[in-house]
Structures are given as C-alpha cells and as structure tokens.
C-alpha cells in the first residue's frame, strides 16, 4: 500500500493552487515554488500544464457519470432517484471539493479537442437528468415545470456545495445538508 507519492503530491498541490488563483493565473513557477523545487522539475510529473487540468476534469466527470448511471439503472422511483443524485453530488463535493471547484470554475480553459469533448460529457450528464425529470413528470410524481428550467434550478442548487468544503469554514454536515436540500427542492420554501 502506497503511503505517499510525489506525483500525487504534485498534482494535489497544483489542484489547490489552481483553485486559489485560477488556472490561467497559476504559473508553473507558482506550483514549483509550492513544491520547493525548480520549475523544470514539474515536468518530471506532467507533460504540460494543461495535462493537470484535463486529468482532474475528466476524472471527476467520470465519477459523476458513474454515479448517475448507477442511479438511473436502479429500480427506484423518479423521486427516489433524484434524491440519490442529490446525495451523490454532496458525497463527491464533500470528499473532493477542489476537484469539483475545478469543474465549476475552470473547464473553459480546456483546449480543443478536449474542450468539445468535455462539453459533450456535460451535455450528456444534463440529458440524463432531463430524461429522469421528464419521466417523473409523465408519471405525475413531479410538477409539470419546463424541463430546461427544472434541470437548471436543480443543478444550480447543487453546484455550490464544494465551496463549503474547500474553505476552512465550519463544514456543513453532509447528512443534514442532504436532508434540507431534498426538502427544499421537493416541497419548497413556503411554510
């Protein structure tokens, strides 16, 4: 069992720095300084700066897709499935907040053809959710909102979690967070 690995260290420090300063504003020199070695050493671990971004973005995207696929192919009802999806977002955001931060903030920095490839993954994820919402509406489980609006409201409501876990702030209890988010989205804010 590997206890520590310098390439992993390098990637994790890069990830945090990029989260702090933004991808473009983070230089290879910044990362090297954080690692206490010279710029040229960084290229022992990666071929290019963009490789760092691509690795995390596509890796974490795959986790979201995997969770989504497992939920959709289950025999749960649409509302239970939606609950599971919310749960998976909280789990990933609380365990990998910096990776999720990158997905939210830095995907625009991908270069072609990775950029187009990534957009397709995002669109595909949203379509999977859209099909679930549609199914729930047709079954009379969900209210008949416009699919685009419902999809955007739900995904937006899940997109800020990472921030609570990426900062030093007293973190929100993931279990309690899930309970309140589900209740808010399902039954609304009005008493």
**CA nearest to 9, candidates 28, 35, 40, 29:** 35
Q: How far is the CB of 42 from DNA (least distance, A)?
A: 7
Residue 45 or residue 72: which is nearer to a second copy going by CB? Answer: 72
Q: Does 8 bind DNA (CB under 7 A)?
A: no
- Using CB under 7 A as the binding rule, whether residue 27 contacts DNA is answered as yes
Q: Kindly report whether the peptide bond that precedes residue 113 is cis, defined as omega within 30 degrees of 0.
A: yes
Question: What residue has token string 């490839």?
Answer: 117
Instruction: Please tell me the distance from the alpha carbon of residue 154 to that of residue 144, in angstroms, as a whole number.
Output: 14
Among the residue ranges 30-38, 66-74, 75-83, 152-160, the one whose residues contact DNA (CB under 7 A): 30-38
Q: In this complex, which beta carbon is closest to a second copy, that of residue 62 or of residue 139?
A: 139
Among residues 109, 129, 132, 166, the one that binds a second copy under rule CB under 8 A: 109
Handedness of CA 166, 171, 177, 178 (dihedral sign): positive
Binding residue count for DNA, defined by CB under 7 A: 19
Of a second copy, DNA, none, which one sits near residue 6, judging by CB under 5 to 8 A according to partner kind?
DNA
Instruction: Please report the DSSP string for 69-122 in residue order.
Output: HHHHTS---HHHHHHHHHHHHHHHHHH-HHHHHHHHHSGGGPPTTHHHHHHHHH
Instruction: Choose, by CB under 7 A, the member of 12, 16, 34, 39 that binds DNA.
Output: 39
Identify the burial level of 8 via C-beta atoms within 10 angstroms of its C-beta, where 0-12 means exposed, 13-18 middle and 19 or more buried. Answer: exposed
The site for a second copy (CB under 8 A) is made up of 22, 24-25, 79, 82, 105, 108-109, 140-143, 145-146, 148-150, 152-154, 156-157, 159-160, 172, 176-177, 180-181, 183-191
Residues in contact with DNA by CB under 7 A are: 6-7, 26-29, 36-41, 43-45, 47-50
């Amino acid at each position: 069992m590997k206890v520590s690995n310098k390439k992993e260290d390098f990637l994790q420090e890069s990830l945090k720095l990029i989260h702090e300063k933004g991808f473009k504003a983070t230089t290879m020199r910044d990362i090297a300084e954080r690692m206490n070695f010279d710029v040229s050493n960084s290229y022992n671990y990666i071929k290019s700066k963009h490789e760092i971004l691509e690795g995390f973005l596509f890796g974490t995207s795959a986790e979201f897709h995997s969770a989504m696929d497992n939920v959709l192919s289950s025999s749960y009802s649409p509302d239970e499935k939606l609950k599971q999806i919310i749960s998976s977002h909280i789990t990933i955001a609380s365990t990998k907040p910096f990776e999720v931060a990158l997905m939210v903030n830095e995907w625009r920095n991908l270069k072609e053809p990775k950029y187009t490839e990534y957009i397709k993954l995002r669109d595909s994820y949203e379509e999977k959710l859209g099909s679930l919402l549609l199914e729930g509406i047709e079954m009379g489980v969900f209210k008949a909102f416009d699919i685009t609006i419902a999809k955007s409201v739900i995904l937006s409501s899940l997109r800020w979690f990472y921030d609570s876990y990426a900062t030093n702030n007293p973190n929100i209890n993931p279990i309690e967070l899930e309970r309140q988010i589900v209740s808010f989205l399902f039954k609304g804010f009005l008493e």
